[in-house]
Amino acid sequence: MFEKVVIVGIGLLGGSLARDIKRHSLAASIVGVSRSPKTAANALELGVVDSVEPLTSALDGADLVVIATPMQAMPTVLRDAAPHLSSNAILTDVGSVKGDLYARLKAEFPQLMAQFVLAHPIAGGESSGVLASRESLFVDKNVIVTPTSEVAPSRVEKVHQLWQAVGAHTLEMSLAQHDAIFARTSHLPHVVAFALVNYLNAQPEREQLFDMAAAGFYDFTRIASSDAEMWRDICVTNTAEIVDALDGFIEQVTDIKQTINSLEQSEILDYFNAAKIARDAGLDRKKR
């Protein structure tokens, strides 16, 4: 499918994609670009990539470049990469926010817009780094492709084919729709999980609280163990949507607080039942 694939950022997402590109023989060679020597050594030892090279030499002859760093590092990678990229190469990313990267591309790298296919795999987890990368991470997961008017449909199609070849389902939506949906379904829950853990941690009896907390608390807050840098970057690149989602959520919390305080038992019951029905129906639709 490709001659030379370059993965910039061999972490959970980049490393997992590299593993599957190798496993399914989707490229003649796969080269990693790493910030830290430790990640480079681990990636080579685990056989995640064929070689690790500096960005400039890695890009020589590359026909697919995947940027898999935190969001705010992407423009820096593009600045360093731009002079060395062939105009035939397809550029893509795995970033969690799309509108901000598109705006940065338009403002700073207009020459790259015809080759950049923005994409976001809805797969991952709270662990990070190349040691957490694994085969088949994307099997049966959605990958959202957000094609822009500047990029050729044949390049968009190639990115669909890549993700489908590693077992994912691909679908397209606009940048704005993507950022609005994932602010509510992913970014908001992460912020709420961070806040809940910090709320407990701010109590004088914090140790007792964490010791006594049962599986429900640790299930709910699993995602608060996610990488802080990645989540800082998501919050500062999708700020308006996340703040809007937080406003809506705070309204819900205020409503249920008032209902509980009023001791209106039927209202409390209705509120919890409505949530259960909505969640169960959502899960049923996903299983279909």
**What residues make contact with ligand NAP under the rule CB under 6 A?**
9-14, 34-36, 39, 68-71, 73, 94-96, 120-121, 124-125, 128-129, 227, 230, 234
- Give the residue with the Cβ less far from ligand NAP, 2 or 93: 93
130 within 8 A of 124, measured Cβ to Cβ:
no
Smaller CB distance to ligand NAP: residue 42 or 115? Answer: 42
CB of 125 to ligand NAP, least distance (A): 5
Min dist CB 257 to ligand NAP, Å, is: 31
Output the CA–CA distances (angstroms, integers) from residue 188 to 2, 131, 210, 231, 280, in the order listed. Answer: 37, 27, 23, 11, 20
Element (H, E) at 278: helix 265-287
For the CB of residue 284, give the shortest distance to ligand NAP in the complex, in Å: 24
Q: Which amino acid is at 215?
A: A
The vertex-231 CA angle with 229 and 233, nearest 5°, equals 70
CB of 67 to ligand NAP, least distance (A): 8
Q: Which CB atom, from 38 or from 255, has the smaller least distance to ligand NAP?
A: 38
DSSP string, 89-142: -EEEE--S--HHHHHHHHHH-GGGGGGEE-EEES---S--SGGG--TTTTTT-E
Report, in Å, the least distance between residue 40 CB and ligand NAP: 8
- For 207-242, give the DSSP string: HHHHHH--HHHHHHTGGGGS-HHHHHHHHHHSHHHH
End-to-end CA distance of the chain: 31
Nearer to ligand NAP among residue 70 and residue 147 (C-beta) = 70
CB of 13 to ligand NAP, least distance (A): 3
Name 163's Cβ contacts closer than 8 Å, sequence gap at least 6.
119, 121, 138, 143, 145, 170
Amino acid identity for residue 204 in this structure: P
User: What is the closest distance, in whole angstroms, from the C-beta atom of residue 220 to ligand NAP in the complex?
Assistant: 17
Of 11 and 99, nearer to ligand NAP (C-beta) is 11
- Looking at the Cβ atoms of 11 and 147, the one nearer to ligand NAP is 11
Beta pairing partners, 32: 7, 52
Using an 8 Å Cβ cutoff, are 226 and 190 in contact? yes
Q: Which is nearer to ligand NAP, 172 or 270 (CB)?
A: 172
